[in-house]
């Protein structure tokens, strides 16, 4: 197994996660990305999706909604605006949010398409993460 | 000399005021502890955010991005963070003074108040007011900071304002609070590190797009940080003010007790004199 890299996930309210991990995967504006130790230095912007952290045999998932990531060869820092473990997600609420956003999008002449789309992406990420629990 | 009953009434009124100030002091002590804890927890995030933005902008030196240069509008948006409640010593008035007494021209400012004390004062003074976010200061959450930063950034992008400032009370420690004025946009960050220290960073998407996406997050985090610090300072200021009030009440009570006892003694002496005089008159 490859050497481990240090992953830190911070939000404005708390330190969400901080440990040595084998691999971390998440969704960026340019597509999905998986990072091992020794990655080229890079800063990417997060798109709503599932965050997967692999530590040996254990694989953990979380819903990551917004923020950006600083990748250095030895460590990865995720500055997340919103990130949730599956246990923290209210699935029923996410489903109703998804329906609401879909309805708004299908309504032509909706006031704020971008906002509804963002809400839709967030709710889908939440639902998918909750299913992985 | 005031009558015994008057003094007694005065004393009990001061005592009940003292009970209130004591209780308020305890409440703000607890709130201060909580606010301090939150400020500590969010520190990592802001440090990381600051490092990234600094390294990003030091790389993007020549980029002609709208966020990095002032636009033509002479207007300045000022986010003013005060409290929703008074009885916090000079907390609110220091902030108001900082906005009012400087080189800014009153007509150039648009005030975005967070906290009703500031809102009411600037409305009364006839400043141009933007949207009011006073509810946000009750319990600062990140989502509120996001709403506010979206608001001012869209005004900036639309050319309604040329500069954005935030005025808040910085929290240094429990007794030291510094009214602070910070320029949010256009950004000017001095990078003091030498070139060798800078991490070489690539951006995905391109640096320009990254600035577009990261700067709003940076502004949001600054606003959020300012809100958290302001809440801590507010409770610290109130704690101090209430502590002083409690001590003053203590002093007043003791001097009133002295007066009361003197009046009581005087009354007794007078009564005795009257009885003795009466007895002598009869015999």
Segment B81-120, tens digit of pLDDT: 999 888 888 889 999 999 888 888 888 888 899 999 989 9
Compute the Cα dihedral for A47, A50, A54, A55 and give only its sign: positive
8 Å CB contact of A13 and B38: yes
Tell me the CATH number at B135.
3.40.1380.10
Residues pairing with B178 in the sheet: B170
- CA B108 to CA B213: how far, in whole Å? 28
**Out of A74-78, B49-53, B131-135, least confident range:** B49-53
pLDDT at B64: 65
8 Å CB contact of B213 and A40: no
Instruction: Tell me the residue ranges of DSSP E strands in B144-241.
Output: 163-171, 177-185, 202-204
pLDDT at B19: 95
Query: Both tokens of residue B211?
Result: 């600035």
pLDDT at A8: 87
User: What's the structural domain count of chain B?
Assistant: 1
**Which chain B positions have a beta carbon within 8 Å of A13's beta carbon?**
38, 41-42, 142
8 Å CB contact of A43 and B41: no
**Which chain A positions have a beta carbon within 8 Å of B214's beta carbon?**
43, 45, 68
Q: What is the mean pLDDT of residues A117-126?
A: 77
Domain presence at residue B64: yes
How many CA atoms does the CB half-sphere of A105 hold within 13 Å?
Answer: 14
pTM for this entry: 0.80
Q: What is the mean pLDDT of residues A55-64?
A: 85
Pick the CATH number of A5-86 from 1.20.1250.20, 2.60.15.10, 3.40.50.1240, 2.40.30.10: 2.60.15.10
pLDDT per residue over B197-251, tens digit each? 455 566 767 767 777 778 888 888 888 888 888 998 999 999 999 999 999 999 9
Q: What is the mean pLDDT of residues B269-273?
A: 94
B154, B77 in Cβ contact below 8 A? no
**Which chain A positions have a beta carbon within 8 Å of B213's beta carbon?**
29, 45, 68
pLDDT at B194: 46
pLDDT per residue over B113-161, tens digit each? 999 998 999 999 888 888 888 888 888 888 888 888 888 888 888 888 8
Q: What is the mean pLDDT of residues B183-209?
A: 64
Nearest residue in chain B measured CA to CA from A47: B213
8 Å CB contact of A42 and B200: no
| 3-state secondary structure at position B105 | coil
A45, A29 in Cβ contact below 8 A? yes
Minimal C-alpha gap between A65 and chain B (Å):
13
pLDDT at B71: 73
Of the pLDDT bands very low, low, confident and very high (cuts 50, 70, 90), residue A37 is confident
- CA B167 to CA B82: how far, in whole Å? 9
Domain presence at residue B166: yes
CA distances for B80 relative to A74, B185, B283, angstroms: 41, 15, 82
High-pLDDT (> 70) share of chain A, %? 92
pLDDT per residue over B7-18, tens digit each? 999 999 999 999
pLDDT at B14: 95
Domain presence at residue B80: yes
User: Which of A11, A12, A46 would best serve as a mutation to test chain B binding (most B beta carbons within 10 A)?
Assistant: A12
Of the pLDDT bands very low, low, confident and very high (cuts 50, 70, 90), residue B53 is confident
| Arithmetic mean of pLDDT over chain A | 81
| Arithmetic mean of pLDDT over chain B | 84
- CA A125 to CA A59: how far, in whole Å? 17
pLDDT of A52 above 50: yes
B196 vs A119, residue with greater confidence? A119
pLDDT at B199: 53
High-pLDDT (> 70) share of chain B, %? 90
Domain around B29:
22-190+198-240
Of the pLDDT bands very low, low, confident and very high (cuts 50, 70, 90), residue B265 is very high
pLDDT at B153: 86
Compute the Cα dihedral for B145, B150, B151, B153 and give only its sign: positive
pLDDT of A21 above 70: yes
pLDDT at B192: 53
The CATH topology of domain A90-131 is 1.20.5
pLDDT per residue over A83-92, tens digit each? 888 777 777 7
| 3-state secondary structure at position B35 | helix
8 Å CB contact of B205 and A29: yes
**Which chain A positions have a beta carbon within 8 Å of B37's beta carbon?**
none
Instruction: Please provide residue A77's backbone torsions phi and psi, each rounded to the nearest 5 degrees.
Output: -120, 120
Greatest CA span in chain B, whole angstroms?
114
**Complex ipTM tops 0.90:** no
Cβ-nearest to A68 among B41, B145, B214 = B214
Cα dihedral value B236, B237, B241, B242, nearest 10: -40
Minimal C-alpha gap between B67 and chain A (Å):
18
- Does A31 reach chain B within 8 Å, measured CB to CB? no
pLDDT at B215: 83
pLDDT at B12: 94
A93 vs B263, residue with greater confidence? B263
Q: What is the mean pLDDT of residues B170-194?
A: 76
pLDDT at B196: 47
B236, B175 in Cβ contact below 8 A? yes
CA distances for B91 relative to A30, B27, B237, angstroms: 47, 17, 6
User: Hey, where are the domains in chain A?
Assistant: 5-86, 90-131
Domains A5-86 and A90-131 share a fold: no
Cβ-nearest to A42 among B49, B202, B221 = B202
Cβ-nearest to B210 among A10, A14, A45 = A45
- Does A41 reach chain B within 8 Å, measured CB to CB? yes
B254 vs A38, residue with greater confidence? B254
- CA A128 to CA A62: how far, in whole Å? 10
């Amino acid at each position: 197994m490859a050497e481990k890299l240090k992953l830190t996930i911070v939000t404005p309210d708390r330190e969400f996660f901080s440990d040595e991990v084998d691999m971390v995967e998440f969704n960026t504006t340019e597509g999905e990305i998986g990072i091992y130790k020794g990655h080229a230095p890079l800063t990417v912007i997060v798109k709503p999706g599932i965050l997967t952290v692999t530590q040996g045999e254990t694989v953990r998932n979380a819903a990551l909604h917004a923020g950006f990531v600083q990748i250095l060869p030895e460590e990865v820092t995720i500055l997340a605006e919103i990130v949730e473990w599956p246990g923290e997600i209210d699935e029923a609420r996410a489903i109703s949010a998804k329906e609401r956003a879909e309805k708004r999008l299908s309504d032509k002449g909706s006031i704020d398409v971008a906002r509804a789309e963002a809400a839709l992406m967030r709710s889908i990420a939440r639902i998918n993460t909750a299913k992985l629990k | 000399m005031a009558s015994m009953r008057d003094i007694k009434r005065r004393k009990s009124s001061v005592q009940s005021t003292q009970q209130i100030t004591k209780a308020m002091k305890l409440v703000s002590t607890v709130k201060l502890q909580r606010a301090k804890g939150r400020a500590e927890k969010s520190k990592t995030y802001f440090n990381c955010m600051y490092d990234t933005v600094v390294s990003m902008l030091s790389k993007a030196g020549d980029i002609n991005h709208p966020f990095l240069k002032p636009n033509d509008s002479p207007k300045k948006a000022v986010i003013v963070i005060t409290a929703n409640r008074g009885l916090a010593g000079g907390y609110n008035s220091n902030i108001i003074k900082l906005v009012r007494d400087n080189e800014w021209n009153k007509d150039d400012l648009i005030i975005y108040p967070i906290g009703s004390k500031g809102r009411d004062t600037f409305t009364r003074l006839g400043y141009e007011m933007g949207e009011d976010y006073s509810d946000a200061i009750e319990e600062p959450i990140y989502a509120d900071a996001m709403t506010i930063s979206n608001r001012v950034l869209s005004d900036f992008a639309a050319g309604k304002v040329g500069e954005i400032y935030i005025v808040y009370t910085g929290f240094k420690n429990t007794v030291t609070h510094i009214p602070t004025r910070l320029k949010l946009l256009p950004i000017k960050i001095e990078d003091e590190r030498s070139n060798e220290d800078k991490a070489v960073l690539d951006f995905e998407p391109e640096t320009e797009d990254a600035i577009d996406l990261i700067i709003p997050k940076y502004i949001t985090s600054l606003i959020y940080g300012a809100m958290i610090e302001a809440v801590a300072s507010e409770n610290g200021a109130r704690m101090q003010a209430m502590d002083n009030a409690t001590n003053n009440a203590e002093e007043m009570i003791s001097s009133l007790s002295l007066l009361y006892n003197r009046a009581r003694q005087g009354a007794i002496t007078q009564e005795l004199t009257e009885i003795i005089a009466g007895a002598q008159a009869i015999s």
